[in-house]
Amino acid sequence: MPNSSGRPRPRYPERPRREPGVRRDPTRTERVEGIGSVLDQLLERRPWRSGRALGELARRWTEVVGDRLAAESTPLSLDAGILVVRASTAPWAAQIRFLAAEVARRANEVMVEDRGTGGPITAVRVTVDPGPVGP
């Protein structure tokens, strides 16, 4: 459709419409933010936060359990304060269970030293998997 000068009116893309009843995410704003700020916010959300804590724990696992035990075990998951450790054999799993309180204490110390990632570890569970373990 032409405008008053006789030229065709530019077509602008229509804004997508939301379905009725679909609400906008209350955490979103129209405000422009730097990428660093956005990434910091993403890293504070639960899945990222526990993954970051587990990665840091895996990186410093030798400091937590010592060289010999680190060669036979690895942190597998960390969720809701429960650290799951994979051991190479049943005897090594028994050793980790025996030292569970010490492992939790040392792991919490390591995580506090490194930017306070994750919440406190309240329990250690052990699984046996003869696959590759250690760094």
DSSP string, 12-34: PPPPPPPPTTPPPPTT--S----
- Asked if residue 53 belongs to a domain, the reply is yes
- Asked if residue 19 belongs to a domain, the reply is no
Residue 4 in this model has a pLDDT that exceeds 80: no
* Domain hosting residue 114, numbered range: 35-128
Helix, strand, coil: what percent of the chain each, to 5? 45, 15, 40
Q: What is the pLDDT of residues 63-102, one digit of tens each?
A: 999 999 999 999 998 888 899 999 999 999 999 999 999 9
- Asked if residue 18 belongs to a domain, the reply is no
Q: Taking all residues of the chain, what is their mean pLDDT, rounded to a whole number?
A: 78
- Asked if residue 61 belongs to a domain, the reply is yes
Find tokens 């998951």 and name the residue.
77
- Binned at pLDDT 50, 70 and 90, residue 111 comes out as confident
Q: What is the CATH number of the domain that holds 108?
A: 3.30.300
**Domain count of the chain?**
1
